[in-house]
């Protein structure tokens, strides 16, 4: 029978159990405790594990089965989104306002309860400062209206969250992210959990065993740590 592992702050960063030991209900819960230090977070992602918990709870580590992923070239762009991209209404940038993106993602979900609590924001801001976490921003004039952020390790980008305050703004950010990942040679975008929204964008499901094996291999590729910052530019073109 599956049992939760309890982690201590002084445990080695990579001291996680095999993801196949995760609970079936709730799906993927693997361990409790530990901390959100950069070494532990990076070690977790390399094993197909991520933190997800709310304020007042212990840190919870998850590896659900199956896993939602997007592969380069499989992003579905609807006719309406194509029109939005060609209109040039929005501009996009990279690593221009990581703090703004993660804060907006948290605020958007605050009413329903969010895992992007203050400790999580601080941890991912630290990863951003170290060059491991990145954001794509969507702008309407000088106003941040959409974005997506996540962690880049080797050939995998682990998507964390996205937000939108204008129609299609988050989708524009995702298109820009996929174009950048393709140009940089990334092989996989981890979307964590299946949703109808992700399905409409072309995500597919991957069995946890296959996902963990793929991530293990792809995260051994050279990292592209460091700032990816670009200034805002029109979101035109689909090449």
pLDDT category of residue 157 using cuts at 50, 70 and 90: very high
Q: What pLDDT shows up at residue 197?
A: 87
* More confident call, 192 vs 109: 192
Which of 7, 10, 11, 31 has its CA nearest to residue 21? 31
| Region for residue 194 given its phi and psi (left: phi exceeds 0; alpha: psi -120 to 50; beta: otherwise) | beta
Rounded average pLDDT over 109-114: 63
Number of residues written out for the chain: 239
In the prediction, which pLDDT does 171 show?
95
Which of 239 and 128 is assigned the larger pLDDT?
Answer: 128
In this prediction the pTM is 0.94
Contacts 24+ apart (CB under 8 A), 72-75: 72/178, 72/181, 72/182, 72/186, 72/187, 72/189, 73/182, 74/202, 74/204, 75/174, 75/175, 75/178, 75/201, 75/202
Q: Are 19 and 48 in contact (CB under 8 A)?
A: yes
Angle 91-92-98 (CA atoms, 0-180°, nearest 5)?
135
**Cis amide leading into 144 (omega within 30):** no
pLDDT, mean of residues 17-41: 97
CA distance 169 to 176: 11
pLDDT surpassing 70 at residue 54? yes
> Cβ contacts of residue 11 below 8 Å, gap of 6+?
34
How large is the average pLDDT for residues 18-41?
A: 97
- All structural domains of the chain, each given as residue ranges with its CATH number in brackets, are 5-65 (3.30.70.3550), 68-234 (3.40.630.70)
Residue that the structure tokens 């924001």 belong to: 121
pLDDT band at 239 (very low <50, low <70, confident <90, very high): very low
- Pair of tokens at residue 174: 């995702």
In this prediction, residue 86 has a pLDDT band, given cuts at 50, 70 and 90, of: very high
């Amino acid at each position: 029978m599956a049992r939760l592992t309890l982690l201590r702050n002084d445990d080695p960063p990579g001291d996680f159990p095999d993801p196949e030991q995760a609970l079936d209900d709730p799906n993927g819960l693997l361990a409790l405790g530990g901390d959100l230090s950069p070494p532990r977070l990076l070690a977790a992602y390399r094993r197909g594990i991520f933190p997800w918990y709310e304020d007042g709870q212990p840190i919870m580590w998850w590896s659900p089965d199956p896993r939602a992923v997007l592969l380069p070239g499989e992003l579905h762009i609807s006719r309406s989104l194509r029109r939005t991209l060609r209109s040039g209404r929005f501009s996009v940038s990279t690593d221009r306002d990581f703090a703004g993106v993660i804060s907006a993602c948290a605020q958007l979900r605050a009413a329903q309860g969010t895992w992007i609590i203050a400790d999580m924001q601080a941890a991912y801001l630290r990863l951003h400062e170290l060059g491991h976490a990145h954001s794509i921003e969507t702008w309407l004039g000088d106003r941040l209206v959409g974005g997506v952020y996540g962690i880049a390790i080797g050939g995998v980008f682990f998507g964390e969250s996205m937000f939108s305050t204008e129609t299609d703004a988050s989708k524009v950010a995702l298109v820009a992210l996929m174009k950048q990942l393709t140009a940089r040679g990334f092989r996989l975008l981890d979307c964590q959990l299946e949703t109808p929204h992700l399905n409409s964008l072309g995500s597919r499901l991957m069995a946890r065993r296959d996902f963990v094996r793929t991530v293990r291999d792809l995260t051994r590729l050279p990292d592209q740590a460091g700032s990816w910052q670009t200034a805002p530019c029109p979101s035109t073109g689909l090449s």
